[in-house]
């Protein structure tokens, strides 16, 4: 692989006014991005945000895509191996769920506990390692973390934690290039992807995935049936469980953290899709359906589910139980096919958990606003509150080219109801493969959706960032406003389009309204007035009549100024 | 005004495969865009969509921006003048509401009834002129339609009708140019704006507005306090009701269809804003607040509300009662200040209605997802179900540069709860004045939000477009999919990025998955199989075991083909 096709400098540079910092909690170096802003008095202060960019933004780290990221997690794994060497509870079953069930708090649990919480160092700790362990034991949360992926910086998926975002990358038979996919990986984590799925279906599936895992600080998911289908030259009828099994062992060995497996699509459900407007739109689902019909046999993934669990528990690969019958249009939302499969995923969830395998559940798709909540309600009921992982959903079908927006609307809603992981949709959805710009546009839309969900759920850590930014906006700290935003580059660029001069960065107005109409400026006048006399005083004055004070205010003038 | 700065050809050209058509209902020519698509059999058919573009897309019409649009509505107005000449009920009170109260169905009511409904000519009529009249009488809907704006193609704002979208245009002291604003008007209606507000605060406010109204097929709204402030050289303290009154008479004479008037911001509410994170963010609100404090007097718009009504009822200018205390950040949402003002707007609504003046109510702003519904509930309660007209709301503050998305999320939600008119937010919000591209991006995001609301409310007319598009998608009618979408240009451009060849437009796959992985192709195989044996047959077969049929299916092969 030639590194020189990827502009590594692009990834080493941090966001404006930001630096990579690590917080040491029990000797775990938890990564954050520290944004330097001014407080109201003008003094510098740092605001910490959750950081998914991995070592790439660490100035101490020399990027080498051939050797991959440092395998820092190996120390934890070795320590655990030694400690539990002769403990039969962990023979071939070394999952986070199995440890959690046995009351053991792993380093991964400690890490995510600190990571979820401490980016507001002044808050009291709400999320403890023990809380993480209990959430994992209950199945309400998972830490996707294959022991063969030591480059991972662990993260947690669960409704009581920050809402996470997944980015899909991967080549297709029409378009293939390993460097390009690796470039998308680095780009995706830079723009906030919490997990990444490699959905390659083209050439060099194995090599592309190897490059991705070795260089990924975030969990990597795959849909193993794609590689299995390549092995039988694209003929679904030629698939078999044996072929599939070889693929998942090979992928588990590489370090894939979660597998999408469409084990809940049973033969008898297929006829319920024939009256749909858009049939089966999941690629994996349609492959399985075709196999089932061709052989008139039950889905081999359903029939061999126990064996799948036995393989996955050895590596701690998590299930992402696939929704092969998810609706592909508004017309098909929440129908019989969809919910028959969901109920089956619930049965499989209990089976996997009993074997110690972590599980999350995939969800739709295309769903109108009024039918979104039912998806969460039924998922929690059928699947015993396993974390929900949804694709959007898109709330209308009529906007190809803008499906990052149609689906961010659905994602924000389903997230606010308790979905833990939101799979992004890019503007290219339904039309073509996303390029880097699309990956970024999809991610920003989904960071917005996830953040809006967190605010709606009352997550203080999310709310604080809004408040810092709005405070900066109100105080005309333009650069702080840009730097606290999800995309500091674009917000500055947009501002500079009309007011490029440096002095405008401290101007007490912008090009929207100009100085006379600036409501924030006028409000500050009002506030100065208020603080001069204090509020209760004004309240009294307003009630009694405060002619004198108004005269003072009028005398103080209507000065509009630009700070020098 | 020089026409040559605006590319008129851009506006004459219709959307791809589309033509302007008029449907004659009681001699009213109701405009639609007819999109020619294929049905499943390959024969051509037309799909009609609501059309806001005005005469510009009519090939018979020669655009002349100097003389303005044809004044077609004058015939109706004259007819009405003659008919009710000696009817004292309509002395100086010729509003749609006054006619409605007196049981009279106007041409405007007939027009909007037909326009709302008949774009699905095969459906039975749900919306009758009498239904429109009764909704207007109740105050639940308004038809903003100044009698001095005869160029108008009437539209209705109300929760039982299609959700509408407003676009703001207008210059600022920092950036001014009449042609540019006129260009934005034509561009806005081309991209689906149902109403347009001219928020100019810069030079030539009067001339800019005149050019806009004479060339606008949609209702035009303004915030008259902006022009009033210009008259006193930007000094809020120097405002008076007399100055304001002159401005609204002059604007009403020009033909403005609705005025945003911040009459509900009372002096005693101002102290409730002093503890807010972002104070008063409405420009109009902050101007009024400043005036109130400077003079220590009640808001002159509140005190002179009766006189305002008496002026507006002569022209049928509608109130858009402004929310001068709307929250400007998540932190300030749903607070005391906001709801004190909303309650006052409710009092004013009843007063205006009693005088025959049509009213809608403006709403926030910045509101987290979990607090959106309360806004609609209280608005309906306090303001007797007057149509709600909201700016977004933005569901997070942290994404300047993407606030068309943060606010489309809020808009889709608030629309689904019953908001009638969604005021767009462009990507430039908080950062600068929108250019044409921003206007388009804002409008597409809001057409998505409005449409998603309509689907959620179960509006069949909206759902049918989704179904047509999804059917085209499923049948690989790529061009139909593009042409039925909100932005046919972008969807085609995105598709062509990876598969530009003409043959790909009829290919039974796309660049996302390639032929082997195309779930839609596989589903069609399954469906062919199903239809061959019919569904119930398959259900039986599945239950009993259908070995034989599977063998037939396997024998039929796995053909992937490109239609020639």
Q: Which of B278, B287, B448 is nearest residue A474 as measured by Cβ atoms?
A: B278
Contacts of B402 in chain A (CB under 8 A): 444-445, 448, 486-487, 490
pLDDT at A460: 83
Tell whether the model's pLDDT for residue A120 goes beyond 60: no
- Cβ separation B402–A517 shorter than 8 A: no
- Cβ separation A466–B329 shorter than 8 A: yes
Q: Which of A402, A428, A431 is nearest residue B444 as measured by Cβ atoms?
A: A402
Q: How close B562 gets to chain A, by Cα (Å)?
A: 15
**What Å distances lie between residue B9 and B18, B438, B488, CA to CA?**
16, 21, 18
pLDDT at B136: 98
Q: Which of A286, A397, A405 is nearest residue B522 as measured by Cβ atoms?
A: A286
pLDDT at A550: 53
How many whole angstroms separate alpha carbon A241 and alpha carbon A293? 16
Confidence class of residue A256 from pLDDT cuts 50, 70 and 90?
Answer: very high
Q: Which of B274, B279, B405 is nearest residue A474 as measured by Cβ atoms?
A: B279
Residue matched to tokens 């210059």:
B171
**How large is the average pLDDT for residues A43-50?**
94
Q: Label the pairing between strands B157-158 and B141-142.
A: antiparallel
pLDDT at B393: 98
**Position with higher pLDDT, A183 vs A39:** A183
User: Would you give the DSSP letter of residue A161?
Assistant: S
Q: Which of A237, A445, A523 is nearest residue B279 as measured by Cβ atoms?
A: A523
Confidence class of residue A172 from pLDDT cuts 50, 70 and 90?
Answer: confident
Q: How close B317 gets to chain A, by Cα (Å)?
A: 25
pLDDT at A536: 54
Question: Residue B244: which H helix or E strand, with range?
Answer: helix B241-254
Tell whether the model's pLDDT for residue A3 goes beyond 80: no
Percent of chain A with pLDDT over 70: 89
Contacts of B463 in chain A (CB under 8 A): 330-331
A320, A321, A325, A330: CA torsion to nearest 10 = -50
Q: Which of B452, B482, B526 is nearest residue A369 as measured by Cβ atoms?
A: B452
Tell whether the model's pLDDT for residue A205 goes beyond 70: yes
Burial of B67 (0-12, 13-18, 19+ CB in 10 A): exposed
The answer to whether A166 touches A193, Cβ cutoff 8 Å, is yes
pLDDT at A542: 54
- Cβ separation B463–A229 shorter than 8 A: no
How many whole angstroms separate alpha carbon B322 and alpha carbon B259? 9
How many whole angstroms separate alpha carbon B116 and alpha carbon A94? 62
Q: Which of B286, B433, B517 is nearest residue A511 as measured by Cβ atoms?
A: B433
Q: How close A175 gets to chain B, by Cα (Å)?
A: 7
Please name every residue paired with A220 in a beta bridge, in sequence order, or none if there are none.
A196
pTM of the model: 0.94
Tell whether the model's pLDDT for residue A279 goes beyond 80: yes
Confidence class of residue A546 from pLDDT cuts 50, 70 and 90?
Answer: very low
Q: Which of A453, A484, A526 is nearest residue B293 as measured by Cβ atoms?
A: A526
Contacts of B408 in chain A (CB under 8 A): 405, 408-409
- Cβ separation A523–B273 shorter than 8 A: yes
| First-last CA distance in chain B | 52
User: Would you give the DSSP letter of residue B245?
Assistant: H
Distance of CA B114 to the CA centre of its chain: 18
**How large is the average pLDDT for residues A278-298?**
93
Confidence class of residue A171 from pLDDT cuts 50, 70 and 90?
Answer: confident
Of A465, A466, A454, residue with least CA distance to A162: A454
Residue matched to tokens 């800019």:
B208
Q: Model confidence over A475-521: pLDDT tens digits? A: 999 999 999 999 999 999 999 988 888 777 777 766 666 666 677 77
Residue matched to tokens 């050809």:
B9
- Cβ separation A281–B520 shorter than 8 A: yes
**Rounded mean pLDDT of chain A?**
90
- Cβ separation B294–A491 shorter than 8 A: no
**Closest residue on chain A to B417 (Cα):** A370
* Pair of tokens at residue A180: 């390009």
- Is the ipTM, as predicted for this complex, more than 0.90? yes
- Cβ separation B229–A516 shorter than 8 A: yes
pLDDT at B125: 52
Other CB atoms within a 10 A radius of the CB of residue A452 amount to 33
The DSSP annotation for B155-197 comes to: --EETTS--EEEEEE--BTTB--HHHHHHHHHHHHHTT-SEEE
Q: How close B550 gets to chain A, by Cα (Å)?
A: 5
Q: Select from A398, A524, A531 the residue whose CB has the most chain B CBs within 10 Å, as the one to mutate to test that interface.
A: A398
User: For chain B (length 564 residues), average pLDDT per consecutive 10?
Assistant: 70 94 89 92 91 96 95 96 95 97 98 75 66 96 98 97 96 78 96 96 90 98 96 95 98 98 97 92 94 94 98 98 97 98 98 98 97 98 98 98 98 98 96 93 98 91 93 93 97 89 75 67 72 59 51 46 28
Whether the ω angle into residue B393 lies within 30 degrees of 0, i.e. cis, is yes
Instruction: Please name the residues in contact with A527: beta carbons below 8 A apart, sequence gap of 6 or more.
Output: B274, B279
Confidence class of residue A203 from pLDDT cuts 50, 70 and 90?
Answer: confident
- Cβ separation A395–B452 shorter than 8 A: yes
Contacts of A273 in chain B (CB under 8 A): 523, 526
- Cβ separation B526–A172 shorter than 8 A: no
* Pair of tokens at residue A498: 């009309």
User: Would you give the DSSP letter of residue B13?
Assistant: S
Q: How close A21 gets to chain B, by Cα (Å)?
A: 21
- Cβ separation B539–A498 shorter than 8 A: no
Q: How close B130 gets to chain A, by Cα (Å)?
A: 29
pLDDT at A26: 80
pLDDT at A202: 80
- Cβ separation B398–A283 shorter than 8 A: no
- Cβ separation B498–A449 shorter than 8 A: no
Q: Which of A279, A481, A495 is nearest residue B520 as measured by Cβ atoms?
A: A279
Of A319, A315, A324, A292, residue with least CA distance to A157: A319
Q: How close A188 gets to chain B, by Cα (Å)?
A: 18
- Cβ separation A432–B522 shorter than 8 A: no
Residue B517 backbone dihedrals phi, psi, to 5 degrees: -105, 10
Distance of CA A165 to the CA centre of its chain: 1
Contacts of A463 in chain B (CB under 8 A): 330-331
Is B44 in a helix, a strand, or coil? strand
How many whole angstroms separate alpha carbon A487 and alpha carbon A484? 8
Tell whether the model's pLDDT for residue A531 goes beyond 90: no
pLDDT at B121: 36
Q: Which of B486, B539, B547 is nearest residue A402 as measured by Cβ atoms?
A: B486
How many whole angstroms separate alpha carbon A478 and alpha carbon A504? 9
Contacts of B515 in chain A (CB under 8 A): 173, 234
**Position with higher pLDDT, B507 vs A46:** A46
Q: How close B90 gets to chain A, by Cα (Å)?
A: 39
Q: How close B105 gets to chain A, by Cα (Å)?
A: 34
Torsion sign, CA atoms B70, B75, B80, B85:
positive
User: How many Cβ pairs closer than 8 A exist between chain A and B?
Assistant: 464
**What Å distances lie between residue A9 and A3, A56, B510, CA to CA?**
11, 10, 34
- Cβ separation B514–A409 shorter than 8 A: no
Residue matched to tokens 């809001």:
B446
């Amino acid at each position: 692989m030639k590194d020189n096709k990827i502009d590594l400098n692009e990834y080493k540079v941090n966001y404006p006014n930001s630096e990579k910092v690590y917080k040491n909690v029990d000797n775990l170096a938890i990564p954050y991005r520290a944004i330097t802003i001014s407080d109201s008095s003008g003094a510098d202060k740092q605001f910490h945000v959750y950081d998914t960019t991995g070592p790439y933004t660490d100035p101490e780290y020399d990027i080498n895509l051939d050797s991959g990221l440092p395998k820092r997690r190996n120390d934890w794994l070795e320590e655990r191996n030694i400690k539990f060497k002769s403990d039969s509870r962990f023979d071939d079953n070394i999952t986070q769920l199995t440890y959690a069930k046995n009351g053991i708090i792993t380093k991964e649990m400690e890490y995510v506990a600190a990571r979820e919480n401490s980016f507001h160092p002044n808050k009291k700790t709400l999320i403890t390692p023990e809380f993480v362990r209990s959430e994992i034991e209950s199945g309400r949360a998972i830490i996707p973390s294959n022991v063969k992926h030591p480059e991972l910086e662990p993260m947690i998926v669960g409704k009581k934690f920050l809402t996470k975002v997944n980015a899909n990358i991967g080549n297709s038979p029409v378009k293939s290039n390993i460097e390009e996919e690796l470039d998308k990986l680095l780009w995706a984590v830079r723009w906030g992807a919490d997990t990444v799925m490699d959905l390659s279906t083209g050439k060099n599936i194995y090599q592309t995935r190897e490059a991705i895992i070795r260089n990924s600080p975030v969990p990597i998911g795959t849909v193993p049936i794609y590689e299995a289908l390549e092995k039988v030259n694209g003929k679904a009828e030629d698939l078999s469980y044996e072929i599939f099994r070889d693929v998942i062992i090979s992928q588990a060995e590489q370090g894939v953290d979660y597998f999408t497996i469409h084990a809940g699509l049973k033969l008898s459900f297929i006829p319920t899709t024939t009256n749909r407007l858009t049939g089966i739109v999941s690629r994996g689902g349609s492959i399985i359906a075709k196999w089932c019909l061709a052989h008139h046999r039950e889905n081999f993934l359903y029939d061999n589910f126990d064996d799948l669990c036995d393989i996955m528990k050895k590596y701690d690969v998590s299930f992402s139980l696939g929704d092969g019958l998810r609706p592909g249009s508004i017309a098909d939302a929440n129908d019989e096919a969809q919910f028959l499969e969901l109920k089956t995923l619930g049965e499989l969830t209990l089976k996997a958990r009993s074997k110690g395998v972590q599980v999350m559940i995939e969800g739709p798709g295309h769903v109108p606003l009024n039918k979104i909540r039912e998806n969460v309600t039924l998922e929690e009921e059928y699947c015993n509150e396993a974390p929900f992982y949804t694709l959007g959903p898109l709330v209308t079908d009529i906007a190809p080219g803008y499906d990052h927006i149609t689906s961010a609307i659905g994602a924000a809603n389903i997230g606010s109801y308790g979905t833990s992981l939101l799979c992004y949709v890019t503007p290219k959805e339904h039309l073509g493969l996303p390029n880097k710009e699309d990956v970024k546009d999809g991610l920003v839309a989904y960071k917005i959706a996830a953040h809006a969900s967190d605010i709606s759920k009352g997550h203080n850590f999310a709310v604080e960032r809004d408040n810092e930014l709005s405070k900066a906006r109100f105080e005309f700290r333009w650069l702080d406003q840009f730097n606290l935003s999800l995309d500091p580059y674009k917000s500055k660029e947009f501002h500079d389009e009309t007011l490029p001069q440096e002095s405008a960065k401290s101007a007490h107005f912008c090009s929207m309204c100009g100085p006379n109409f600036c409501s924030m400026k006028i409000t500050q006048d009002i506030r100065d007035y208020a603080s001069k006399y204090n509020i209760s005083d004004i309240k009294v004055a307003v009630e009694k009549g405060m002619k004198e004070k108004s005269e003072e205010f009028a005398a103080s003038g209507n000065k509009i100024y630009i700070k020098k």
